[in-house]
Every structure is written in C-alpha cells, then in structure tokens.
Structure 1
Amino acid sequence: MKSTVEHLSPTRVKLAVEVPFDELKPNFDRAYREIAKQVRIPGFRPGKAPRQILDQRVGREVVVQEVIREVVPAKYGEAVTEAEVQPLGQPDIEVAPTEGVDTLSFTAEVDVRPEITVPDYAAITVSVDAAEVTDQDVDDQLKGLQARFGTLTGVDRAVQNGDFVVIDLAASVDGEAIEEAQATGMSHEVGSGQLIDGLDEALEGMTAGETKQFTTKLVGGEHAGSDAEVTVTVQTVKERQLPEADDEFAQLASEFDTLDELKDDLRTRHARVKKMEQGSQARDRVLEALLEAAEVPLPEGMVQATLEARAHDAVHEFDHDEQKLTEYVESQGQTREEFDAELRADAERTVKVQLLLDEIAQKAEVRPDQNDLMQNLAMQAQRYGLSLEDFIQQAQQAGQLQSMIEQMQVETVRGKALATVVRAATITGPDGEELDLSELFGTDGDDADDAADDEDAPAAEGADAAAGPADGSEVAAADTDASDPESPSSQVEADGDADTEVVGAPDSTTRA
C-alpha cells in the first residue's frame, strides 16, 4: 500500500491511498466465495461456481465493490496511522473508478486534531473574591433557618411583599383560554418570582376576594413569546412570623443547646460554602485566562456537530417549531440572527476548551482511575434518584452503559487537566495575597478528592461541562444544610387553626 497526506488546513487533511489488486488477493478470494454462495448458477452447487462464470453472470465490478467495502475502512485506518494524524469524526471518502485498472485508489478527507502549543499556565495569575464570612452573612443564614420554622398567620390587610397568598389564576391569548395556565387554590410567596412575570407586582396591594388582570409575555409552552391576559384572584393572605432566635430555637432547629453554638456552626458551614465558591471562581477565571493565551485552530466539522446539537436542544423546547423559537427569541429582545450567532460562538468555545484540555491531559499524562468512574456513576445515580446498582442496570439494559462510561472518562480527564492548570496558576484574593486552594484542587502530582458537587456550576462553561470540574467532580457552592433559606413548598395546618400554618419542618440537623 502507498499513502500520502496533504494538509489542507491546520485542522483537515487529505489522505491518498493506492493498493495494488495483487495485495488484495485474500480479499478477492473472500468476495468470490461470498458471492458464489448467494448466486444460483445451473450446473454448479452453491458456492462452487468458478470465478470466470461469476464474472460473466454478475460482473467483475460487483466483486470489486465487495472488496472495496471490506478493504477501504481497513486501509484508511492504516493510512491514518502512517500519517500520524488524529482524526476527528468520520472521513469523506471518494473511491476512484476501478474499471480497467489493477489498483484500488481512494482519497479520504477528514478533520484532525490540530497541533496546539499549550501556554505556560504557571504564568497565569487571576484574582478571586474574598471568602470571609461576615456577621451579616451569619444573620442571613439564621433568618433563613428561622423561616423554615416560621408560621403563617392570616391577616386582614392588603398583600405585601413577603406574604403568602392562595390564589386562582387564569390566562388567555387573543381571548382563547390556555388550558395549562389555569390554576385554583395555588400557594405563592409574593416577591419570590417563582411563577409568571408581573404576578408579584399585580398582587401587592390586593386584598382577599379581589380580582385583577394584567398582561405578561409567556416564556414556554405552545404560546411562548405571546402576550397573555392573566386574571388573578386572591383567596387568602397570610404573613410569616418567625420564631424568636434564642437557645430554645437552637434546640428545636439543630443539635445544639445554645444560640451561640448554632451561630458558630452556621459560620463554619457558610465558610465552607464561600471557600467552594472561591474555588469555582478560580477555576473559571483560570480557564478564561488559558483560553485567551492559547491559539487553537478549530475543526469545522467538530464545531458544526456541536452547533447542531445546541440548535437541536434549543428548538426541542418548542416542539421543534422553528417559528416558535424565533418568536420567543424576539420576545427576549434579541433577533434570531443574534441568537444563532451566540450559539455558534458557544459551540466554538466548547470545541476550543475540549481540544485544549485534551492536549494538556495528554502532555501531563492524566488518566482516569476506577475511583473516578465509580464516583461519577454514583453522582449520576443520585441525580436520578436511583441506587448505583439500579442506575447501572438500567443503563446496561438501554445499551448506554459503555458510551456513558467512555464519556465520563473523557470528562474526568479534562477535569483533572484543568485542575493541573489551576494548581500551577497563581490565585490571589482582592488584597493581592496568594491563596492556597490545595484543599479543593490538590497539590502537584495529586488528584484532589471531590470537594463538592454542584450541577449548577459549569466546570468549563460552554463545554457541555466536558471540561469538567477541576478534579473530576465539580467544585462549587453546593453545601446544602439547615442554614439555607428556602421558600416553603407546602404548608401544614397546625394546632387546628386554619389561619396559622407551620412553614417548613426539621431536617437532618434537627435534634432527635
């Protein structure tokens, strides 16, 4: 076999391959045998017809095409190895005419992994926000915990921000009622912004039994982007009353005996959250600095595939109706052209991050291990609310386990590569003092254990989280505890008083 490579660009090559038919004798033998089994020729048993007869009956070209089908993929692979290129995606193969020649010739154009000069990431310096916990932070955490144990008491006054109301909602577009936008007896915290735009503003000042109409732009469903006329009726108005912050409350809401002990614990917990936020910020800013310093040629095929996946996800939310997507985009003050340009830029950034981190991982000889895989599988199982065994079994039954494992390994390696860069970079606080983040990212030659898991904090924004977290898990603020304020999702009647409700309930930190 003879092969040559032509570099069409830094990200695309053209391989030219020539294979004399003499080298393909075993392939021709197999092709003749297979075709002989499939063709019925009078006077010959199946599979026993001579080649000359087969050439007369089915044509020599049929045999050649069978050989081509078998040989081209294998010879393409040999040519790739010989040329020492790393293909990305499937090649565009063109086979030359074979009639009257004694050589199989074909060309293959394919995107390849470009040569990348990795910047000196030890020279990267970024600054991050401080991680100190103030007294106000502790007070806010305490108020959030108090809110969990607050009560809702009925009041005879106009609705105020922070009140809890029970409402009826109905929406229509062009006079036609929207079925999925009708609700009766819905609980809502005024000011939370959890329902539709304009609702909280409309509710303030209303009283029980009052009805009001307002206009809003719908952001989802069949009528996304359309103006809807919304009618809201207030049934009841209740205000939240917080328990006194004292030792008795500390004993009710936690494992501690005194309020001071509870505050110390809240400070410790919030400090851990702040530290993780600081680590997440460091990781993202280091990545941005790395991208700015690196020249990464982008393979168009890889960019296009990523772009198509992003575009598919976007229109999928609108039942694959491009017009509805366009209407929604325009309702957000953006043209469709601007939206598409953003998708393109995001796809290009994704590819740049992936290629750069892959190069760093290769040079640093980063490898995933069994612990990484099991941790990632366990994390995915938890997100789906399944045990690890059930998750693996379901993935296996769906035929997705192997591809899932391979993708996890890729993400883990990229995450570790980014951790390598962060460890080498200089991270400073607002005062310019260098920070030690080894607790989150480990030390040189060491892979840090999972610091936290936060699926809302992208490891490499625009990389489908493919850049991964710094160490294969995600470093970010995700330390959920009793100190996190949250709105009640349900209200439990207490003491038989229809006007007083308990907001929230003890959680895992509550004294038994």
Structure 2
Amino acid sequence: MKTTLEKIENNIVKVTVTVEAEQLTTAVNEAYKKNVKQFNIPGFRKGKAPLMIIKKMYGEDIFNGEAGEIVVNKTLHNAVIENNLKVVEITNVNIEQCETGKEFIYTAEIVTLPEVTLGEYKGVEVEKAVVEVTDEEVEADINAMREQNARIEVKEGEIADGDIAVIDFEGFVDGVAFEGGKGEDYSLTIGSHTFIDTFEEQLIGLKAGDSKDVVVTFPEQYGKEELNGKEATFKVVVKEVKVKELPEIDDEFVKEVSEFNTVAELKEDTKKKMLEYKEHTAKHEFEEKVLSAVTENATIDIPEVMINKEIEAMIRDLEQRLKYQGLDMEGYLKYTNSTMDKVKDYMKESAEKRVRTDLVIGEIAKVEEIKVTDEELKEKATELAKQWGAGEVEKNAEMLMNMQKEYLTVDIINKKVIELLVSNAKAV
C-alpha cells in the first residue's frame, strides 16, 4: 500500500491510497461469499454458483463496488496512522480505479485537527476578586430566614406596599379577553413587581370587596406578538388583604430555626459559610479568567466541522436535560418561540470557545508532557463511583476504568493543566 498527501486548504488534506491488486481480488472473494446466496443460476443449486459463472452472467465487476468498500475500510485507517493524521472527519471518499488485475486506487478528503500556536500561557496577568463578607450581607441572609418564617395574617383595611392582595382578575386588549390573562384567588405581594407596569401600585388603597379596572401597557418586547406594546385593562376584584408578621430576631427565634442557641452564634456561622462560598466562587472565576486569557493568546484556525460537532453535542445535552424535566425539543422550541436554527446560532459562540479551549489545553499538555498514571485513573474512578451512592464502589470504579478510561484521562489532564496555569498566573 502506498499513500500520497495533497493539502487542499488549512486542516484539509487529500490522501490518495494505492493498494495492491491482490487485495482487491481477496475483497471480491469476500463480497462473493457474502452475496452468493442471492443468485439463482440455472444448472446450479441456489447459492452454489461459482464466482466465474456469476461474473460471466452479470459482468466482471459485479462485486467490485462492495469489494472496493471492503478494501477502503481495511486500509484507510492504516493510511491515517502511516501519515500521522489526527482525524476530525473523513469526507468525499472516491474510488479512482477498481479493475480486476490492477492496483486499487482511491482518494479521501480528511479534516484534521488544527495546528495550535500557543502564546503566553505562563505568567498571564488576571484580575482576582477580593473576597470579604460584610455585616450587611450577614444581616440580609438572616433577614431572609426571617422572611421564610413569617406568619401571614388577614388584615383589615386598605392595601399598602408590602401587603399581600388575594385577587381575581381578567385582562382585556381592545375589549377582548386574551389567553393567559385570567386568574382566581391569586396572592400578589405588592411591590414584588411580579405583574407588569404599575399594576401593583394601582391596587394600593383598595380594601377586601373592592373592584377596579387596572390599566397597564405591555412592554414592546413582552414575548407575545399579540400583546407587545399593547394597552390592557384588567378587571380586578380584591378578595382578601393579608400582611406578613415577621418574627423578632432574638435567641428564641434562632433556637427555633437553626442548630444554634444565640444570635451571635448564628451570625458567626452565617459569615463563615458565606465566606467559604465566596472563596470557592472566586477561585473558580479566577481559573476561568486565566484559562480564557491563555486561550485568547493562542492562534488556531478551527475547522467549521469541529464547531458544528460541538453544537450537536450541546443539543444532545439540552435534549437530555429537557427529558429529565418531562419535556422534548419540539415543546421547548414552541415554549421559547424559537427554531432549531436559532438555537444553533445561539450556541455557536459557546461551541467555538469550548473547542478552542480543549485544543489549547491539549497542546499545553503535550508541550508540558503532562501524563496520567494508572493510580490517578483509579483514584478518579473511585471518586466518581462514590458519588453514585449505590452499589459496590470498587466494582463501579473498575467498570469506569474499563468503559470510560478516555473520559477519565481527559478530565485529569484538564485539571492538571488548569492547576499549572493558575499556579503560574499573576493575580492583579
């Protein structure tokens, strides 16, 4: 077997493969054995006609088409390895010569992984957030606990800001009721801005039993063509007025809602947990900024097919998440008033960034000779197996080692590269 390469454009090469005539002869025999049972020739039992007889009746090249596919399938992989090609996609396989007794010749266009030219990746300067927790943040968090434990009491008198109005309502545009504009016994917190425009403010001053026509205007980009920018009248009936009774923040309250005995203890624990969360978030954000800076410093001509493949992977992931929620893609597109083309366009920038990042990480791992040991693979597999929370950890870890070794390897390498980049980055 001989191969020659011709560069068509960036990341696309045309490989010409020339195979000895004997391989085509062998492949013709394979195709014959596979298909002989389909031939019913006078003088022979069905499926027993010799190859030469079938060729004589149906033509010398009767099996050449399928034989050519057999030869391509057996030799193209070797041609790729022989020329050290890193394949993204193989397209346009064309058979140039397929005649008995002659060399078998075919061509294929191969999209290859792009060359990555790294820029500065050690010592990049990246802004790092200063982590702190203020007393105001702690108070806000504890006040949220207070809100969660509030008692709702019926109120006599007029609706005020912050009250809960229990209402029936129906909306009309140009005197016609519209879909989704009706509700009964709806609890609306005044000042929450749950409803559009000044709807909530117009209820202030009303009492239980009062009725009012509330006039509002839908936003221009509301999301429904028939309502965008339209003036609407809602006929509202106030059924009941309620008010939140917030508990006092004292030691008794703390004992009821937490594991602590005093307000001071609760505040200290709240501050500690908020600080841990902020530090974790800041660490992740710093890693993302470092990786983004390093990626932007690299030069890569990414083939469009790689971006499209990543988009398809993102769509499959979206479909899986929708499935868990009891939805499908058709329903999602209808609900979001979108199309598959719009979804793909929206995903394109993220897909390109993902591909670029993966290529840069891979190149850094190559340059820095970052490897993964069997011990590290086993440790990662065990960690994931423990997260499953069911079955035998050791058995599940072994299964991961056997079935997901490539995924585990990539995950560990990515982590090592990011650690390398972060440890060498300059926080400013």
TM-score when normalising by structure 2: 0.77
Give the Å deviation of 1:140.
1.2
The letter of the residue matching 2:425 is T
Greater percentage in helix:
2
2: distance between equivalents of 1:413 and 1:32? Answer: 49
How does 1:486-497 map onto structure 2 within 5 Å?
none
Larger Rg: 2
Whether 2:279 is the aligned partner of 1:278: answer no
Residue-by-residue CA offset, 1:439-495 (whole Å, 9 max, x unaligned): xxxxxxxxxxxxxxxxxxxxxxxxxxxxxxxxxxxxxxxxxxxxxxxxxxxxxxxxx
TM-score, normalisation: structure 1: 0.66
In the TM superposition, what is the alpha-carbon distance from 1:265 to its structure 2 partner?
0.5
Percent identical pairs in the alignment equals: 26
What are structure 2's unaligned runs of at least 5 residues? 320-327, 392-399
Q: Tell me: CA distance 1:427–1:359, structure 2 relative to 1, closer, same or farther (3 Å).
A: same
Could you say which residue in structure 1 is the equivalent of 2:261?
257
Cα deviation 1:238-276 (Å, max 9, x = unaligned): 333321111111111111111111111011111111101
Is contact 1:287–1:418 with CA below 8 Å preserved after alignment? no
Per-residue CA deviations over 1:346-395 (Å, capped at 9, x if unaligned) read 3322321222233334542257735545655776x7xxxxx756xxxxxx
Q: Supply the distance in 2 between the matched residues of 1:222 and 1:278 (Cα, whole angstroms).
A: 39
CA contact (8 A) 2:121 2:294 kept: yes
Does residue 1:348 correspond to 2:352, yes or no? yes
**1:18-167 paired onto structure 2 within 5 Å:** 18-99=18-99, 102-155=102-155, 156-160=157-161, 162-167=162-167
| Structure 2 letter corresponding to 1:214 | V
Q: Quote the Cα distance in structure 2 between the aligned partners of 1:417 and 1:169.
A: 58
Paired residue secondary structure (2:43): coil
Relative to 1, partners in 2 of residues 1:239 and 1:407: Cα closer, same or farther, differing over 3 Å?
farther
Q: CA deviation at 1:235?
A: 3.5
Residue among 367, 370, 378 paired with 1:364: 370
- In the aligned structure 1, how far is the partner of 2:421 from the partner of 2:241? 51
Aligned-CA RMSD value: 4.0
Q: Tell me whether 1:305 sits opposite 2:304 in the alignment.
A: no
Q: Amino acid of the residue matched to residue 215 of structure 1?
A: T
In the alignment, the residues of structure 1 paired with residue 390 and residue 184 of structure 2 have an alpha-carbon distance, to the nearest angstrom, of 40
Contact 1:158 1:204 in 2 (8 A): no
- Tell me, yes or no, if the aligned pair for 1:361 and 1:414 is still in contact at 8 Å: yes
| Cα distance, 1:10–1:136 mapped onto 2, change above 3 Å | same
1:168-247 equivalence runs, <5 A: 168-170=168-170, 177=177, 179=179, 182-192=182-192, 198=196, 201-206=198-203, 207-208=206-207, 209-211=210-212, 212-216=214-218, 226=228, 229=232, 231=234, 233=236, 234-247=238-251
Following the alignment from structure 1 to structure 2, what is the Cα–Cα distance between the partners of residues 349 and 365?
A: 24
- Matched letter for residue 63 of structure 1: F
Give secondary structure in 2 for the equivalent of 1:231: strand
- Greater relative CO, 1 or 2 (CA 8 Å, sep 6+): 1
Separation in 2 of the partners of 1:3 and 1:319? 49
Q: Distance in 2 between matches of 1:218 and 1:371?
A: 55
Native 8 Å contact 2:123 2:426 kept in 1:
no
1:167–1:374 distance in 2 versus 1, CA, 3 Å: farther
Separation in 1 of the partners of 2:8 and 2:365?
27
| Distance in 1 between residues matched to 2:247 and 2:414, nearest whole Å | 44
Q: What's 2:424 paired with?
A: 425
Segments of 5+ residues of structure 1 without an aligned counterpart are 330-335, 382-386, 390-400, 433-512
Q: Distance in 2 between matches of 1:407 and 1:183?
A: 54
Q: What secondary structure, in the 3-state scheme, does the structure 2 residue paired with 1:61 have? A: coil
Offset, 1:25: 3.5
**What do the CA deviations read for 1:180-202 (whole angstroms, capped 9, x no partner)?**
55432233444545x56x16x41
